[in-house]
Protein backbone atom coordinates (compact mmCIF):
# COMPACT_ATOMS: atom_id res chain seq x y z
CA UNK A 1 0.00 0.00 0.00
CA UNK A 2 2.86 2.38 0.78
CA UNK A 3 4.39 1.96 -2.69
CA UNK A 4 0.99 2.64 -4.29
CA UNK A 5 0.77 6.01 -2.48
CA UNK A 6 4.27 6.93 -3.60
CA UNK A 7 3.47 6.01 -7.21
CA UNK A 8 0.20 7.97 -7.09
CA UNK A 9 2.00 11.02 -5.69
CA UNK A 10 4.69 10.74 -8.36
CA UNK A 11 2.02 10.50 -11.07
CA UNK A 12 0.35 13.67 -9.79
CA UNK A 13 3.62 15.57 -9.53
CA UNK A 14 4.80 14.39 -12.93
CA UNK A 15 1.46 15.28 -14.54
CA UNK A 16 1.61 18.75 -12.99
CA UNK A 17 5.08 19.45 -14.33
CA UNK A 18 4.28 18.02 -17.77
CA UNK A 19 1.27 20.34 -18.07
CA UNK A 20 3.48 23.38 -17.57
CA UNK A 21 4.52 24.52 -21.03
CA UNK A 22 7.62 26.37 -22.09
CA UNK A 23 8.75 28.00 -25.30
CA UNK A 24 12.26 27.35 -26.61
CA UNK A 25 13.73 29.92 -28.99
CA UNK A 26 16.81 29.09 -31.03
CA UNK A 27 18.64 32.31 -31.82
CA UNK A 28 21.69 32.73 -34.04
CA UNK A 29 23.78 35.85 -34.57
CA UNK A 30 24.89 36.01 -38.22
CA UNK A 31 26.18 39.56 -37.84
CA UNK A 32 29.79 40.56 -37.30
CA UNK A 33 28.96 42.39 -34.04
CA UNK A 34 27.90 41.29 -30.57
CA UNK A 35 24.12 41.74 -30.27
CA UNK A 36 21.83 41.91 -27.26
CA UNK A 37 18.33 40.41 -27.39
CA UNK A 38 15.24 41.27 -25.33
CA UNK A 39 11.91 39.45 -25.38
CA UNK A 40 8.36 40.53 -24.61
CA UNK A 41 5.83 37.73 -24.18
CA UNK A 42 2.29 37.24 -22.93
CA UNK A 43 2.31 34.96 -19.88
CA UNK A 44 -1.44 35.03 -19.21
CA UNK A 45 -4.54 36.92 -20.39
CA UNK A 46 -3.46 40.21 -18.80
CA UNK A 47 0.23 39.91 -17.93
CA UNK A 48 3.35 40.37 -20.07
CA UNK A 49 6.95 39.42 -19.30
CA UNK A 50 9.74 41.60 -20.66
CA UNK A 51 13.21 40.15 -20.22
CA UNK A 52 16.70 40.94 -21.48
CA UNK A 53 19.55 41.11 -22.18
CA UNK A 54 20.73 37.89 -23.78
CA UNK A 55 24.09 38.70 -25.38
CA UNK A 56 25.10 36.84 -28.55
CA UNK A 57 28.65 37.14 -29.83
CA UNK A 58 29.17 37.30 -33.59
CA UNK A 59 28.40 33.84 -35.01
CA UNK A 60 27.02 32.51 -31.70
CA UNK A 61 23.94 30.31 -31.63
CA UNK A 62 22.13 29.41 -28.38
CA UNK A 63 18.60 28.69 -27.14
CA UNK A 64 16.48 30.74 -24.75
CA UNK A 65 13.85 29.00 -22.63
CA UNK A 66 10.77 30.96 -21.56
CA UNK A 67 9.21 28.79 -18.86
CA UNK A 68 6.21 31.05 -18.26
CA UNK A 69 5.18 31.20 -21.96
CA UNK A 70 3.28 28.47 -23.79
CA UNK A 71 2.78 29.90 -27.31
CA UNK A 72 5.51 31.10 -29.69
CA UNK A 73 3.01 33.49 -31.29
CA UNK A 74 2.80 35.37 -27.98
CA UNK A 75 6.51 36.27 -28.15
CA UNK A 76 8.02 39.48 -29.50
CA UNK A 77 11.76 40.04 -30.03
CA UNK A 78 14.03 43.09 -30.07
CA UNK A 79 17.78 43.22 -30.66
CA UNK A 80 20.18 46.15 -30.70
CA UNK A 81 21.92 45.24 -33.99
CA UNK A 82 19.87 47.27 -36.46
CA UNK A 83 16.58 45.38 -36.13
CA UNK A 84 14.90 45.62 -39.55
CA UNK A 85 11.12 45.96 -39.42
CA UNK A 86 9.11 45.27 -42.56
CA UNK A 87 5.56 46.34 -43.41
CA UNK A 88 4.43 42.73 -42.89
CA UNK A 89 5.80 42.52 -39.33
CA UNK A 90 3.46 42.81 -36.38
CA UNK A 91 5.12 45.08 -33.84
CA UNK A 92 4.66 46.06 -30.22
CA UNK A 93 6.33 48.76 -28.16
CA UNK A 94 7.63 47.95 -24.68
CA UNK A 95 10.11 49.37 -22.21
CA UNK A 96 13.54 47.80 -21.63
CA UNK A 97 16.16 48.54 -19.00
CA UNK A 98 19.15 50.28 -20.51
CA UNK A 99 22.49 48.47 -20.18
CA UNK A 100 21.43 46.02 -17.44
CA UNK A 101 19.96 42.57 -17.25
CA UNK A 102 16.26 42.71 -16.33
CA UNK A 103 13.05 40.70 -16.01
CA UNK A 104 9.84 42.69 -15.58
CA UNK A 105 6.23 41.58 -15.28
CA UNK A 106 4.90 45.04 -14.54
CA UNK A 107 4.97 47.88 -17.10
CA UNK A 108 8.01 50.11 -16.66
CA UNK A 109 6.74 52.95 -18.82
CA UNK A 110 8.84 56.12 -18.48
CA UNK A 111 10.79 54.76 -15.48
CA UNK A 112 14.31 56.04 -14.98
CA UNK A 113 16.87 53.80 -16.69
CA UNK A 114 14.33 52.43 -19.21
CA UNK A 115 13.70 53.21 -22.86
CA UNK A 116 10.87 52.30 -25.21
CA UNK A 117 11.77 50.08 -28.18
CA UNK A 118 9.83 48.30 -30.92
CA UNK A 119 9.60 44.51 -30.72
CA UNK A 120 8.68 42.24 -33.67
CA UNK A 121 6.31 39.28 -33.22
CA UNK A 122 8.02 35.92 -33.79
CA UNK A 123 6.36 33.53 -36.22
CA UNK A 124 8.52 30.51 -35.46
CA UNK A 125 10.81 29.27 -32.73
CA UNK A 126 14.07 30.15 -34.45
CA UNK A 127 15.39 33.59 -35.26
CA UNK A 128 18.58 34.73 -36.99
CA UNK A 129 20.05 38.18 -36.43
CA UNK A 130 21.10 39.09 -39.97
CA UNK A 131 24.36 40.74 -40.92
CA UNK A 132 23.93 44.47 -41.46
CB 104 within 8 A of CB 87: no
Q: 76, 39 in Cβ contact below 8 A? A: yes
Is the pLDDT at 5 greater than 70? The verdict is no
Alpha-carbon gap, residue 18 to 29, rounded angstroms: 31
pLDDT digits (tens, 9 = 90+) for 20-56: 579 999 999 999 999 999 999 999 888 999 999 999 9
Q: What is the tens place of the pLDDT at every residue in 7-21?
A: 333 333 344 444 557
Percent of the chain with pLDDT over 70: 85
pTM confidence score: 0.81
Please say if the pLDDT value at position 63 is more than 70: yes
Amino acid sequence: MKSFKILALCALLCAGSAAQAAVRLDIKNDSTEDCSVALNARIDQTKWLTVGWYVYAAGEEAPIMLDEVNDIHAVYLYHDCSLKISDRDETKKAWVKVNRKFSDTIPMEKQQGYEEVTFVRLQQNHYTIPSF
